[in-house]
Structure 1
Amino acid sequence: MRIDVWSDVVCPWCSIGKKRLEKAIAGFPHRDQVEVVYHSFQLDPSAPTEPTETARQMLSRKYRMSDAQAAEAQGRVIALAAEEGMDFTRHSESPFVGTADAHRLLHLALAESGPERQAVLKDALLHAYFGEASNVADHAVLREVAVAAGLDPVRVDEVLSGREYADAVEADIRQAAAYGATGVPFFVVDQKFGISGAQPVELFAQALERAWAAAHPVLETVPGAADADACGPDGCPI
């Protein structure tokens, strides 16, 4: 079973949704047969690489909130993250920055090291942004995070110095639009079931069960069929 996830590394709900999905997978009887692949989505493609404001200041400006209202909104997210076992306490300091290069490194991880390494890098980038308030558009930060996550430093430098995987990022964004996803996180389970938002663990669990049942249908015996005459494994009695 494959789960495709569209998300951004500066999206708090993406981090919370990821954690809830992982909890659902952990309780799934066939968890060893589940593969999760992360896809690119940019909340704001116009966001700068050199921060000029914090994410809180951006919220205040974009949604015409007071600073106190923006702080309250972030506080709710920080509290929800804590319930899921994540430390977002420095999120109030997180810079408002673009994520194109972070997504290119996630594609590098997937292409050269597979989904498991990509997931490690995804976690590391989310922690860098929400847990440490790091600038995840800064190449020095990205290099440090990617290398610590196990990526080849030479390949990391090559990707960051050019435009490699930029087309893959754009393809992901187009696919999200084709699915009708207008926000993230957005999950597609076995290309059959779409889930929008950081849903409860129980809903993810139900989706996993439905997708597994759809891919592994159980033969239903017609009532009374077992009573009919038939030959068995030892032959026929006549």
Structure 2
Amino acid sequence: MRIDIWSDVVCPWCSIGKRRLERALADFPHRDEVEMVFHSFLLDPGAPTEPTETAQQMLARKYGLSLEEAAEKQGAVIAVAAELGMDWSRHPDSPHAATVDAHRLLHLALAEGGRGQQAALKDALLHAYFGEARNLADHDVLREVATGIGLDAGRVSAVLASEEYADAVAADVAQARAYGANGVPFFVVDEKYGVSGAQPTELFAQLLERAWSESRPVLATVPGAEDADACGPDGCAI
């Protein structure tokens, strides 16, 4: 079973939704047969590469809030993250900056290290931003995070110095739009079920069970029929 996930690395609900899905997968009996694939989405395509404000200041500006009101809104989200085992106490100071280069590195990780390395980089980027308030538009930061999960330093530097994988990022965003996704996180299970938002763990668990059962239907037994003589690997009934 395959789960495609569209998200941005500076989206709090994307990180929360990912953690809730992971909790549902932890209790899913067929979890070893589920693959997660991460896709790019740019919440603010016009965000600067040189940040001039924090996430909290951006929130206040965007929604016409005072800094105190923005802090209260962020505090509620930070509390949700804490319930899931994530310490985001430094997040109010996270720089508001462009994420396209981080997404290009996620495509590099997928191309050169497969799903596992892509997932590792995704986790590392989320922690760097929400847990450590680091600037994900800073190439030195990106290089440190990417090489820290095993990506080749030379390849990372080459990608950051070019536009490599920019087309892949754009294609991901276009696919999300084609699915009708205007926000993230957005989950697509087996190209059949689309789910928007950081749903509760229980809903993800129900979705996993439903998608699994529908992809592997069990034949119905004819009413009244009982086991009868047959042959098997150990021989035939006599």
> TM (normalized to structure 2)?
0.95
The 5-angstrom pairing of residues 97-176 of structure 1 reads: 97-176=97-176
Q: CA deviation at 1:236?
A: 8.8
C-alpha distance in structure 2 between counterparts of 1:77 and 1:99, whole Å: 21
Structure 1 letter corresponding to 2:40:
S
Q: What are the superposed Cα offsets for residues 156-191 of structure 1, whole Å, 9 maximum, x if unpaired?
A: 011101011000000000010011111100111111
Residues 114 and 236 (structure 1 numbering): CA distance in 2 closer, same or farther, change over 3 Å?
A: closer
Residues 81 and 218 (structure 1 numbering): CA distance in 2 closer, same or farther, change over 3 Å?
A: same
Residue 206 (structure 2) aligns with: 206
How many aligned positions are there? 235
Displacement over 4 Å in runs of 4+: 234-237
C-alpha distance in structure 2 between counterparts of 1:93 and 1:29, whole Å: 40
Q: CA deviation at 1:232?
A: 2.5
SS of alignment partner, residue 81 of structure 1:
helix
How big is the alpha-carbon RMSD for the aligned residues of Structure 1 and Structure 2?
A: 1.4
SS of alignment partner, residue 37 of structure 1:
strand
1:72 aligns with 2:80: no
Q: CA deviation at 1:231?
A: 5.9
Unaligned runs of 5+ in 1: none
C-alpha distance in structure 2 between counterparts of 1:214 and 1:163, whole Å: 41
C-alpha distance in structure 2 between counterparts of 1:100 and 1:236, whole Å: 65
Structure 1 letter corresponding to 2:207:
A
Q: What are the superposed Cα offsets for residues 186-237 of structure 1, whole Å, 9 maximum, x if unpaired?
A: 111111111111111111111110110011000001213448xx76227798
Residue 232 (structure 1) aligns with: 230
Q: What are the superposed Cα offsets for residues 40-98 of structure 1, whole Å, 9 maximum, x if unpaired?
A: 00100000010001111111111101111100011001111000000100011011101
Q: CA deviation at 1:150?
A: 1.0
> TM (normalized to structure 1)?
0.95
Structure 2 letter corresponding to 1:223:
P
Residue 180 (structure 1) aligns with: 180
Residue 56 (structure 1) aligns with: 56
Q: CA deviation at 1:115?
A: 0.8
Q: CA deviation at 1:135?
A: 0.4
